Amino acid sequence: MNNIKIAGIGAYSPSLVVTNDDISKLVETNDEWIQERTGIKERRISEGEDTSDFAVKSAMIALDRANIKSEDLELIIVATISPDNFIPSVACLVQSKLNAHKAACFDINVACSGFLYGLEIANSMMKSMNYKNALVIGSETLSKLMDWTDRGTCILFGDGGGAAVLTRCEKGGIIKSYLRSDGSRGEALTIEAADFKTPFAKENKEKDRVIKMNGREVFKFATTAIADGVTEILKDSNLTLDDIKYIVPHQANYRIINSAAKKLNVETEKFYINLDRYGNTSSASVPLALNEMMEEGLINEGDKIILVAFGGGLTHAATLVEF
């Protein structure tokens, strides 16, 4: 069996729901203004749980649905920009909590494109190293990286995690992937790292470790990135949009998705959208959406789905999956 499929999906979000009215108590804004510009009504925010907690809880659900034991995992990849620590990785924390002692573990930092990058890395590694079972997770605690006085960012983001168990199959599964980056535009979306303080530095520099975004630049990049990703996947697979049941985009902003739909000359209803309830959860947004689709019975055996994402770096990605 040479193909790799998604055998189980799981997701977990914190219980605290923060509405637009709640946000309006922190910054000068209101529910109508936020919904009109983003489509977001509410988001989930952590009250103390960290990225590894969301990762483990979503992974346990995915493993149960895939009927795979954690000790049979051979690879764990966690996509995140908000790890518990620099070291150890979130993937290693997940391995320990799941007792997945055989698994190779590492994190990747591809921002909102991370889950799709993780799928293709796992797909390639499973084939090259003859692995049978892998776990790919997107998990974020973006609230701890937020400037809660910045109206341009604090209205957008939420916390949560989603996971996919990958196993081997005869046909279908992950059919095609498209991965791209443009580092020349990286300043459009940034989070600074540790302060630069050493006895040898000419100048000690304190870093502001919060999300900073040029919304206009990200919007221009994102609409083109979605359209390009979907178009390239269809071209490389010799398919049309009529062959695709759903497009599952990174859940950043309704206006971005609507603009991309117009570029593709397709109705917005072709896209699965749940950002109104979760906001932008970065690498977790695509698996969170897939989890809801599975629970709602929207995906059936044989359905072809295009996953598409864009994010900091700047990066973008698309993946064609047959379930």
Active site residues: 112, 250, 280
DSSP string, 45-83: --SS--HHHHHHHHHHHHHHHHT--GGG--EEEEE-SS-
* CA–CA distance, 248 with 213 (Å, rounded to integer): 23
* CA–CA distance, 88 with 76 (Å, rounded to integer): 14
What's the one-letter identity of residue 35? Q
Question: By three-state DSSP, how is residue 227 classified?
Answer: helix
Distance of CA 281 to the CA centre of its chain: 7
* CA–CA distance, 308 with 316 (Å, rounded to integer): 8
* CA–CA distance, 251 with 248 (Å, rounded to integer): 8
DSSP string, 104-128: EEEEE--GGGHHHHHHHHHHHHHHH
* CA–CA distance, 134 with 147 (Å, rounded to integer): 35
Cβ-contact 174, 72 below 8 angstroms: no
Q: What is the side-by-side strand order in the sheet with 315-322?
A: 173-181, 315-322, 304-311, 246-249
Residue spans of beta strands (DSSP E) within 114-170: 133-141, 159-169
